[in-house]
Structure 1
Amino acid sequence: MATLTEQLRRFNYTRLAGPILILLILTMMVLPLPSVVLDIFFTFNIAVSIIVLLVGINVRQPLDFSAFPAVLLITTLLRLSLNVASSRVILLEGHTGPDAAGAVIESFAHFLIGDNIAIGIVVFIILTIINFVVITKGAGRIAEVSARFTLDAMPGKQMAIDADLNAGLIGEDEARRRRSVITEEANFFGAMDGASKFVRGDAMAGIMIILINIVGGLIVGVVQHDLGAGQAAETYTLLTIGDGLVAQIPALIISTAAGIVVARVGTERDLSEQFLGQLFAKPSVLYITAAVLGLIGLIPNMPHLAFLLIGGALAGLGWSMERRERTRATTVAAEQAAAPPPPAETAMTEVSWNDVQPVDLLGLEVGYRLIPLVDRTQDGELLRRIRGIRKKIAQDLGFLVPPVHIRDNLEIRPNQYRILLKGVEVGQGEAFVGQFLAINPGNVSGELPGQPTTDPAFGLPAVWIDAARREEAQTLGYTVVDASTVVATHLSNLLQTHAAELLGREEVQALIDHQAKESPKLIEDLVPKVIPVGTLQKVLQQLLAEGIHIRDFRTIIETLADHVGATQDIDDLTSAVRTALSRVIVQQLFPGENELPLMALDPMLENVLLQAVQSKTGGGLEPGLAENLLTSAAHEAEQVEMQGYNPVLLTPPGLRPLLARFLRRALPQLRVISHNEVPDNKSIRIIAVIGGSRGQ
């Protein structure tokens, strides 16, 4: 018994509200209800419609009221079941008088109609036309178009989410949340499109029920209750019109709520804030409107009081807003004037080391129009994205990237930005606050009007477009990103490219200190007693320059400890570390593959290159040989990429450092690995030969 009591106490009774309400609605259609119960349900229907309207007015995004399609269906069923129940009572008890169907129907009939039945019929028809032709039809059309555009824009939005995720601007949880929002938007507008058909059907059903009740009431009153035709028509028509108005007014309220919800444009403010903030925001508009109303009010035979009263009220509102703005501006100016002036410098100020400005390792300079992107007081989106980039690079590469120092620069163009590495520009571009960059991934279905440009990060053709064309661009297949994402993606790409230059002695020491917390004995025995910090730094820089992450810092330290006593050559030490990291390298280049599709050197070319390396004549290649090698490598790499493979060249261990350095500048997409770096459990398949007949 105690267990059952505990279970009943823990049971969530709110889960029963939905099933009970649906059962009550269906029950009303088949069981007769007394007039008192009908009054309660009619009142409940009116209350629900008012609640739905107020919720629709106060939502900030359509998805904040994602249950609205289901609410629309349930309220429609509720109205129809009440129509059925009230029709039964009207036909059974209508001969007894106007109060036969309850006090609510009688009150609506007398209050809204009075004693003129013809006016009641006209009012009911007008309300039905407004609901059916104007509000419901318009809301259904908006939902239909929104659902279509939302579905068409889903691929572009998904690509934008994937781009932000790959650039490190968002995490997996945020990407999953955004994808869920996109799916919910499509489902919501699709459901609203379907639910609007219920409301239109409800309006048609209301008209048919009125006709049936009037005709049926005449027949029942005259044939069964011996009433006169005039008395029967008056009684049953009064009850029927009252019943129709009681149902039609909540339907009108619900339809209005539906139109408000689907017509909302994405904003962080509710309808009242958006309405007042945009319609009555400019005093000049209020002054002009007041002047027009005043002129109309002076025309003879016009209602002077109404026009002059409203015109004066608008003029007063505009004057009040203008005075408030002047007061705010005066207050700000006074606060700035009261601020203490900077200390005056004397002519004999001594020069100190404070006058020597250090060079920032990483810098971002922006034109004055891009300042809102990096201004903390304006909630600069770019600041959060840069933090996300540094976190993503730390997770991918294995070390902390130095902070990015941001400053404005009035010497560059207003929309320009520059990315600096050790004070030297390594990248620059333009971004436009409030606009979006539509990037053509190569498969768009149309052209967009705007300012043509090139994506600064990857060199793809793109167009700067206005915010109003964002949905259109996504529908056409463009990847659409905002200005802060453009700058952040460009910065992320450059940081990945120049990772080796960002790894200084300070960053290496931070790596050592971090590893010492996990493996204190390893660091104490090897660094710097066995492995000099300078040697460790150069090896790590070579690994980063060749696209290898350094997250497995322990393996790198242990491998260097085994080989640093035999050689101090950085290339040899790096080759040893790469061999130890062979599984990591292959996993980066060929994730999940057991057969590795690789490029190879022609045997004759390989022998010539080995002889050149062994001769040590300047450490380089003969110009003619270098040109032929580069031409053949570029051709074969392009062919391999067209086949859908990652271009990777397999060479003997002695050739790998030379070829990696030689090919890195001209063909950064071509990776070079040695035979020693192929794990024993992987097989090799040669798909192209450099210097062979196909490369000539």
Structure 2
Amino acid sequence: MKARDFSVLLGVILIIIMLVIPLPGWLLSILILTNISLALIVILVSMNTVDTLQFSVFPSLLLLLTLFRLGLNVSTTRSILSEADAGNVVDTFGTFVIGDNPLVGFVVFIILVIIQFLVITKGSERVSEVAARFTLDAMPGKQMSIDADLNAGMINEQQAKERREKIEQEADFHGAMDGASKFVKGDAIAGIIIVLINIIFGLIIGMMQLELSFNEAIDVYMRLTVGDGLVSQIPALLISTATGIVVTRAASDGNLSADVSQQLLRYPNLLYIAGGTIFLLGLTPINPFLTTLIAIVLIGTAYMISKKAKQEANVTESEVDETESEEMKAPENVVGLINMDPIEFEFGYGLIPLADSNQGGDLLDRIVMIRRQLAIELGLVIPVVRIRDNIQLNPNEYRLKIKGNEVASGELLLDHFLAMSPGIEDDELDGIETTEPAFGLPAKWITEETKDDAELSGYTVVDPPSVVSTHITEIIKRNAHQLLGRQETKQLVDHLKESYPILVEEVTPEPLAVGDVQKVLAKLLRENVSIKNLPVIFETLADFGKMTKDTDLLTEYARQSLSAQITADLLQGRNELKVITVAGEVEKVIAEHIQQTEHGSYLAMDPDTQQQVIQSVSENVEVMSLQEENPIILCSPTIRMYMKQLLDRFFPQVIVLSYNEIEPTAEIKSIGVVNVA
């Protein structure tokens, strides 16, 4: 046990001893001076605390000091009544106050007791009660404020936990102070009763047992009683004052001394008024010397404060100027330049009319609609697209960046239309050969005069703003997984928590962290699976998250839970789904080449077999393309993600499904089989 812990226990034991065993006068003097010293320390600490919780031990300390003081009262009363002596400290205090007139000294002592009981103690008790009541009443509102800040992303879980703990500690503290103040009141009443006992029974013992005269008994026992009362009431007065200071402290960044001096002397003009008023009082029969002296002090203080405030204002302005100059020179000033926008759209000066509303450009409005459309389709809030011109680009060139990396580029001819071929080229249609940027289809830039001819020939004709809007939409769709980070995932989780709090609590932060959830959602988006049905995804994560933290497996489970959504997106109103199936021997080969490691599993297939699978897929995809069908490969659930990994490098747009991801009501038609020779 530490020495300081032992000292506190020893002090409690000593208090119990004082209540039972008589103590010599010299020891009582030491304990009385110790009591006064502790009271001084308590009031000084209470004046220098900024927050009430910095002195959270005060309620318990208050009870210990009250018990200590009562123990001293019992010991000194025993010594006064039995020996007519309570030590040098008590005798000195009594002699100093009473002097030659016991009656006047006793009246002064009674006034001190009345101040202690009626003003300080009663006031502290009432303030403690009101503070406890208001703290408890304010708790629900503070808790709601913390939850609102947490949901808004202004604070994290740890900060919210710390704030909640602080609110609980404040409620406990003020509740304890409310109870402890009742002990202070009881101690004051006990002190008054002990004074009466000392006087009454002291006179009786002095006159009947010690055979003193009435005047001698009054002189001895009145002096000892007043001395005992003073050494008891002075610490009690300090402790009661400290109680009032602690419970009346408002929110502030400084201690009591700093707040009083700063706030009382904040307005020097008012000190001028106060000094002038005191000076005018000197014109009356009131002592003119004193009033003039006080007025000079007030006016001088006001002048010094005003002068100091002006100097500080000038220094502050110069420091601000120097700071701004230093900041411009400091390397930290370039930190703002490295901020990266999630999505950037840059264009050459020839495309400025696209974004300039004064020239009829509606690109900004189109991008707003794109973000709304993608939020509905993908279930992801797309960040704001930063649009800017770039003189380093060709006049008709544009490019799209995601997180600083260029992901797409193209060229527009604002005075032309883009005509996309219906599959049969028309050599008679004049135009500039090009490629449609979003889907890579062959196209021509044609003039407005040939627009009608192109439409009659079956060409799909679109204007430049629609071309670039479609391109931006498709590129963002393909790279949506890059736009979903942990912060964006946290916002989605918080939004879901408003409607499904129990579901979210079962998933995060345990067993899955926000980063794990982000990886699952990003893998879904990478394969163009919408995450708008977050409740279903979280239900799956809640079911399987406790069994595995492999995000690849969790993604497969989530895909199977979203089978209805995936099927509907692929059918798009049709009844039949044309697919390429994977032969059993290919599935067996893939399953045999799956390697399990502590970091997950991966496909380790020999190059020859891998090339045969890819060649077979290529042939089947070409057949489906000729039939104008989106290539879809269907395989068993156990190898789906490995099949996708194998094909991702060569056929990133090929959709790979498992049997569990297609609803039983969908009609499946196989138009090809992936085989190996």
Provide the TM-score with structure 2 as the length reference. Answer: 0.55
Work out the CA distance in 2 between the residues paired with 1:505 and 1:168: 27
Aligned to 1:498: 382
Measure how far apart 1:340 and its partner are. 13
Measure how far apart 1:401 and its partner are. 5.5
Matched, 1:84 2:74: yes
Question: Could you report, residue by residue, the CA deviation over 1:358-410 in whole angstroms, capped at 9, with x for unpaired residues?
Answer: xxxxxxxxxxxxxxxxxxxxxxxxx9xxxxxx9xxxxxxxx99589xxxxxxx
Change (3 A) 1:238 1:331: closer
Percent identical pairs in the alignment equals 38
User: Any conservation in 1 of the 2:343–2:401 contact (CA below 8 Å)?
Assistant: no
Which sits farther off after the overlay, 171-180 or 78-87?
Answer: 171-180
Aligned to 1:225, the other structure's residue is in SS state coil
Change (3 A) 1:57 1:586: same
Change (3 A) 1:89 1:331: closer
Residue 610 of structure 1 aligns with an amino acid whose one-letter code is: G
User: Any conservation in 2 of the 1:501–1:541 contact (CA below 8 Å)?
Assistant: no
Which sits farther off after the overlay, 330-339 or 277-286?
Answer: 330-339
- Please point out which of 121, 130, 142 is paired with 1:157: 142
User: Any conservation in 1 of the 2:76–2:228 contact (CA below 8 Å)?
Assistant: yes
User: Any conservation in 2 of the 1:76–1:198 contact (CA below 8 Å)?
Assistant: yes
Matched, 1:319 2:303: yes
User: Any conservation in 2 of the 1:147–1:189 contact (CA below 8 Å)?
Assistant: yes
Aligned to 1:248: 233
Aligned to 1:261, the other structure's residue is in SS state helix
Change (3 A) 1:201 1:20: same
Change (3 A) 1:210 1:292: same
Change (3 A) 1:142 1:424: farther
Aligned to 1:255, the other structure's residue is in SS state helix
Change (3 A) 1:501 1:307: same
Measure how far apart 1:171 and its partner are. 2.3
Aligned to 2:623: none
Aligned to 2:158, the other structure's residue is in SS state helix
User: Any conservation in 2 of the 1:117–1:234 contact (CA below 8 Å)?
Assistant: yes
User: Any conservation in 1 of the 2:59–2:173 contact (CA below 8 Å)?
Assistant: yes
User: Any conservation in 2 of the 1:500–1:542 contact (CA below 8 Å)?
Assistant: no
Matched, 1:307 2:291: yes
Change (3 A) 1:584 1:281: closer
Matched, 1:223 2:195: no
- Please point out which of 106, 109, 116 is paired with 1:121: 106
Work out the CA distance in 1 between the residues paired with 2:282 and 2:121: 37
Residue 229 of structure 2 aligns with an amino acid whose one-letter code is: G
- Please point out which of 538, 548, 555 is paired with 2:477: 538
Aligned to 1:588: 538
Work out the CA distance in 1 between the residues paired with 2:535 and 2:341: 21
> Following superposition, which runs of at least 4 residues in structure 1 exceed 4 angstroms of deviation?
328-341, 399-403, 422-427, 500-504, 508-511, 532-537, 542-557, 581-585, 598-601, 611-614, 676-680
Work out the CA distance in 2 between the residues paired with 1:250 and 1:611: 91
Aligned to 1:25: 15
- Please point out which of 217, 220, 230 is paired with 1:232: 217
Work out the CA distance in 1 between the residues paired with 2:222 and 2:384: 88
Aligned to 2:573: 610
Aligned to 2:597: none
Aligned to 1:363: none
Between 1 and 2, higher relative CO (CA 8 Å, sep ≥ 6) is seen in 1
Residue 124 of structure 2 aligns with an amino acid whose one-letter code is: A
Work out the CA distance in 1 between the residues paired with 2:118 and 2:343: 63
Q: How do 1:411-450 residues align onto structure 2 when only pairs under 5 Å count?
A: none
Aligned to 1:505, the other structure's residue is in SS state strand
Aligned to 1:630: none
Unaligned regions of 5+ residues in structure 1, if any?
1-10, 95-99, 342-382, 384-389, 391-398, 404-421, 428-494, 512-531, 561-570, 615-653, 655-675, 684-696
Question: Could you report, residue by residue, the CA deviation over 1:274-297 in whole angstroms, capped at 9, with x for unpaired residues?
Answer: 111111111211111111111111
Change (3 A) 1:501 1:329: closer
Matched, 1:64 2:54: yes
Matched, 1:285 2:224: no
Work out the CA distance in 2 between the residues paired with 1:536 and 1:70: 66
User: Any conservation in 2 of the 1:140–1:196 contact (CA below 8 Å)?
Assistant: yes
Matched, 1:50 2:40: yes
Matched, 1:207 2:192: yes
User: Any conservation in 2 of the 1:294–1:308 contact (CA below 8 Å)?
Assistant: yes
Measure how far apart 1:158 and its partner are. 1.2
Change (3 A) 1:233 1:504: farther
Change (3 A) 1:202 1:610: same
Change (3 A) 1:533 1:211: same
User: Any conservation in 2 of the 1:131–1:252 contact (CA below 8 Å)?
Assistant: yes
Change (3 A) 1:268 1:496: farther
Please provide the CA RMSD for this pair.
Answer: 5.1
Question: Could you report, residue by residue, the CA deviation over 1:301-339 in whole angstroms, capped at 9, with x for unpaired residues?
Answer: 201122111111111111122223334455567789999
Measure how far apart 1:73 and its partner are. 0.8
Residue 148 of structure 1 aligns with an amino acid whose one-letter code is: R
Work out the CA distance in 2 between the residues paired with 1:55 and 1:65: 8
User: Any conservation in 1 of the 2:342–2:483 contact (CA below 8 Å)?
Assistant: no
Work out the CA distance in 2 between the residues paired with 1:294 and 1:177: 54
Q: How do 1:279-428 residues align onto structure 2 when only pairs under 5 Å count?
A: 279-299=264-284, 301-330=285-314
Aligned to 1:15: 5
User: Any conservation in 1 of the 2:81–2:201 contact (CA below 8 Å)?
Assistant: yes
Work out the CA distance in 1 between the residues paired with 2:175 and 2:64: 17
Provide the TM-score with structure 1 as the length reference. Answer: 0.53
User: Any conservation in 2 of the 1:586–1:678 contact (CA below 8 Å)?
Assistant: no
Residue 14 of structure 2 aligns with an amino acid whose one-letter code is: L
Change (3 A) 1:85 1:207: same
Matched, 1:261 2:215: no
Measure how far apart 1:146 and its partner are. 1.2
Residue 536 of structure 2 aligns with an amino acid whose one-letter code is: V
Matched, 1:73 2:63: yes
- Please point out which of 510, 528, 537 is paired with 1:574: 528
Change (3 A) 1:256 1:555: closer
Residue 498 of structure 1 aligns with an amino acid whose one-letter code is: I
Work out the CA distance in 2 between the residues paired with 1:266 and 1:402: 44
Residue 222 of structure 2 aligns with an amino acid whose one-letter code is: T
Aligned to 2:402, the other structure's residue is in SS state helix
Measure how far apart 1:219 and its partner are. 2.2
Measure how far apart 1:224 and its partner are. 2.0
Change (3 A) 1:556 1:131: closer
Aligned to 1:610, the other structure's residue is in SS state coil
Work out the CA distance in 2 between the residues paired with 1:552 and 1:208: 70
Residue 112 of structure 1 aligns with an amino acid whose one-letter code is: V
Question: Could you report, residue by residue, the CA deviation over 1:58-79 in whole angstroms, capped at 9, with x for unpaired residues?
Answer: 1111111111111111111111
Change (3 A) 1:51 1:331: closer
Change (3 A) 1:401 1:156: farther
Aligned to 1:564: none
What is the number of residues matched between the two proteins? 433
User: Any conservation in 1 of the 2:342–2:385 contact (CA below 8 Å)?
Assistant: no
Q: How do 1:649-688 residues align onto structure 2 when only pairs under 5 Å count?
A: none
Change (3 A) 1:339 1:263: closer
Question: Could you report, residue by residue, the CA deviation over 1:147-173 in whole angstroms, capped at 9, with x for unpaired residues?
Answer: 111111111111211222222222222
Aligned to 2:92: 107
User: Any conservation in 2 of the 1:165–1:175 contact (CA below 8 Å)?
Assistant: yes
User: Any conservation in 2 of the 1:500–1:544 contact (CA below 8 Å)?
Assistant: no
Work out the CA distance in 1 between the residues paired with 2:480 and 2:365: 19
Measure how far apart 1:183 and its partner are. 0.7
Matched, 1:37 2:27: yes
Q: Look at both structures and tell me which one has the larger radius of gyration over its CA atoms.
A: 2
Residue 154 of structure 2 aligns with an amino acid whose one-letter code is: L
Change (3 A) 1:509 1:203: same
